[in-house]
Structure 1
Amino acid sequence: MTPTGAAWRRGGSLLASIACTALAACASPPPLATNRLGMEMALVPAGEFTMGNDASVQEMARLFPGYELARLQDLADETPAHRVRITHAFYMARHEVTVGQFRRFLAASGYVPESVADGTGGYGYNAAYDPSTTKRGDAFEGRDPRYSWQNPGFAQTDAHPVVNVTWNDAVALARWLSATEKHRYRLPTEAEWEYACHAGTRTQFHSGDAPASLAAVANVFDADAAVNWPQWQAYALPAHDGFAFTAPVGQFAPNAFGLYDMHGNAWEWTADWHDDTYYARSPQDDPQGPAEGRVKVRRGGSWHTWPLYARCAYRNWNSPDTRYTLVGIRLVMEAE
């Protein structure tokens, strides 16, 4: 059934969708849905893929020259590569949740983001930072009440991906949409996220194995961002995408599932707890991650992420109450 509260399109025709629903004649779910916050949800078909990284350290060194061997060896939680079946189609947001969509959610729901509710704020970029006193010589500082989803320390419009949002904020958004749209929204599992990122490919990025291929599909740490971090110039993608920080969503080419910014722009929370050794015991069908843990997995990299860490298989993590200038949200919606 088509969920109430969402505008559905099938073959570009809302009328066809209405007729299909009224006659109970739909053979499959519509390929695209748009909800009341303006999120476009693309249908991702069921399928099978190899989850994790099956490249050797030597192969990774060839693909990613200039990285220390220790960095390449520190990717063990991506192994063993294993076959996974996604047994049900699902919808995934074509874009990361935007500042404008998050603002509308807050206004409609009355929800207060954690960075505001607990009074500690978020992280933010400070262009006047002092590398000698700032942790890791970085330009990010926090937690500080002056930083939040509304102010990450750099300019954003309503079209940019919202950042400085916690895992708990993301879950609250999904629960509110589920209640108001009468259809279940949630964070993707790690397996769903990686499957959707690859979109039928078996390469390091959905654009290919070469980091240079990211220039057409991703806003990552490149020559424009490296201006603010010259000490990391050697790890920057040698390209100019025109964005030193986040980019408005959908500025780069999508993958074969019609999903934008799966690499870069903002890290995306997943539903799963992180465990370095989970892949060794992961079930083949629809793995859900460990039953418990301390940190939640985030995927995809950000505008500040080196290409090595923006790959489909790369896993990173934070505690559920983390709010950071690089981390945002992408939701899935279950297909009936």
Structure 2
Amino acid sequence: MNSRADSSLVLAIELAVCCIALAALLVPEWDVALVKVETVPSGAEIRLSNGLVFTSPAEIPVLSGGTDITVSLDGYASADTTVTLGDSGVVVTLGYVFEVEVTSAPSGALVLADGEIAGTTPVTLRFDRPGRHVLEVLSDDSLSMRDTVVLASNRPRSVHFDFPLRTPQGLVFIPPGIHDFASGSDDRSLRREVALDGYYLATCEVTNSMFCAFLNCADSMIPHDSSGIGPRTELLDSLFRCDYPIEIEVLPEGFAVREGLEQYPVRGVSWEACVAFCNWLSSAEGCSFAYRLPTEAEWERAATVGDGRRWPWGDSEPSGNLLNCSDRNEALACREPLLDDGYAETAPVGSFPPNPWGLYDMSGNVWGWCADWAGGAGSPAGDGDTVKCLRGGSWLSSAGDCSCFSRFGASSSLGYPFAGFRVAADRLPDSGSASSNPGDAGSPMPAVTAVPGARFVPSGSLRDGQGR
């Protein structure tokens, strides 16, 4: 009997040892100490990896292998750390969080913060470090805007983007704003802030087809010698003040664009001819706008999309896929022999990618006449100044001379084979009564009846042949 009892006791002891060993395997670590955790500032939430939550300052249970904690407090960046048995006490200092509220009109734009997708407007961004941060917003119709914010305190900031609005007629409405006007200078000390009202700008340069429509309607505005002087008339001579062939010819039935050149930018027109075109467009029946040449500041803001970029497409260096300049195909100067844009001289408008606001050929193709005289940033101007400014470079320029800040001055009464223009416009006061949306523009250019037999189709808008 004693031997049987001894055997049962041994079996019981062995079973107990097995249970203890199994428990040790299932629970590898036990709370073995309490360690005090403080935070700066105090009152932060301390969340342990096992789900327990404390408020600082607090003594928390620490495992033999250490305990992972997350410390968080509104207005501050969360911090993760590990508390070990060797710590007599832990102090966690929380850094500021920098909030930026991003809104846009219209809303719903995709927001990128420092190149990473961060949501859609309206959205509040939280940065855990001060300094410069780049914000970019993309609208549903692929327009984009960019701004840089400098965060130095944890006070909430707000950034609002007003997107340009496209109209069905080939104009883009540029919202009002403050522009850091460079006026052709890379010297920031010469820049000045210019407050601009909202305005419209054509997405493309005026084409030969558009200008030809004007010529065939201009008899009542400008003396027209229908007898012709060789291939020219007094009308053409008054508008194209140059001695080289132009791309519009005179037929017995009227003016016509040389075949195949309808969608190329008109060039060789003087500044005064551009003003005459704008005046005609403004006085045409059914117009909702007053047309004019853009000012330098308006042109520059549209080209740089308001963020001061050197090139309309962004920061990458020029290539033959981005602009039309004096490349290997251009025989007169060939300033960029390593580039190939595919054209010897001008290219059809809209042949190269637009800038983020949907504007084509803001670099290269033809220099664009502006309303201002060419005195430069900070120079006083008068109505009598006849040297006017051109911006953006051309097919005869080096790539460097096609930047958003490139400019030069020329006589307003002469035409040049590398100079053209695009129109700006202001909505007439009573034309917006039907709609408060600047993008709901009325018809800016009336249909023009073609002279029978002439080889051109006048445009019904300021779009190019591809609907841009």
TM-score relative to the length of structure 2: 0.48
Where do residues 122-201 of structure 1 align in structure 2 (5 Å cutoff)? 143-144=242-243, 147-150=245-248, 157-180=261-284, 181-201=287-307
- Write out per-residue CA displacement over residues 299-334 of structure 1, whole angstroms, 9 at most, x where no aligned residue: 111111112221111221111111111111100111
Conservation of the 8 A alpha-carbon contact between 1:246 and 1:265: yes
Percent identity, aligned pairs only?
A: 30
- What corresponds to 1:295 in structure 2? 387
Q: Which has the higher strand share?
A: 2
Larger mean Cα displacement after TM superposition, 290-299 or 195-204: 290-299
In structure 2, distance between residues paired with 1:157 and 1:318 = 26
Describe the superposition over 1:58-106 as per-residue Cα deviations: whole angstroms up to 9, x where unpaired.
xxxxxxxxxxxxxxxxxxxx971222222x2111000000001111111
Q: What code does the residue aligned with 1:183 have? A: F
Unpaired stretches in structure 2, ≥5 consecutive residues: 1-139, 142-161, 225-231, 250-257, 430-468
Structure-2 residue corresponding to 1:242: 342
Does 2:326 match 1:221? yes
Indicate yes or no: 2:41 matched with 1:41.
Answer: no
Question: What letter corresponds to residue 102 of structure 1 in structure 2?
Answer: F
- Establish whether residue 81 from structure 1 lines up as the match of residue 185 from structure 2: no
Structure 1 pair 31–103 and aligned structure 2 pair: CA distance change class (3 A): same
More divergent stretch after superposition (113-122 vs 308-317): 113-122
Which structure 2 residues correspond to residues 1-336 of structure 1 after superposition, within 5 A? 31-34=165-168, 40-52=170-182, 55=186, 80-86=190-196, 88-110=197-219, 116-117=233-234, 143-144=242-243, 147-150=245-248, 157-180=261-284, 181-210=287-316, 212-225=317-330, 228-229=331-332, 232-233=333-334, 235-236=335-336, 238-276=338-376, 279-280=377-378, 290-335=382-427
Counterpart CA distance in 2 for 1:224 and 1:43 is 35
Aligned-pair distance for 1:31?
2.7
Structure 2 counterpart of 1:163, which letter?
A: R
Q: Specify the SS of the correspondent of 1:333.
A: strand
How far apart in 2 are the matches of 1:272 and 1:101?
23
With over 3 angstroms needed to count, the CA separation of the structure-2 counterparts of 1:309 and 1:122, relative to structure 1, is: farther
In 1, Cα distance between the equivalents of 2:163 and 2:355?
20
1:292 Cα offset (Å): 3.8
- Give the match's secondary structure for 2:217: helix
Q: Is the 8 A contact 2:222 2:235 kept in 1?
A: no
User: Aligned to 1:159, what secondary structure does the other structure show?
Assistant: coil
Query: 1 CA distance for matches of 2:322 and 2:410?
Result: 25
Cα distance between partner residues in 2 of 1:313 and 1:323: 22
Q: In structure 2, what is the Cα distance between the partners aligned to 1:122 and 1:268? A: 16
- Is residue 389–residue 408 contact of structure 2 (8 Å, CA) maintained in 1? yes
Q: Pick the structure with more helix per residue.
A: 1
Structure 1 unaligned blocks of 5 or more: 1-10, 13-27, 57-77, 124-141, 283-288
Secondary structure class of the residue paired with 2:329: helix
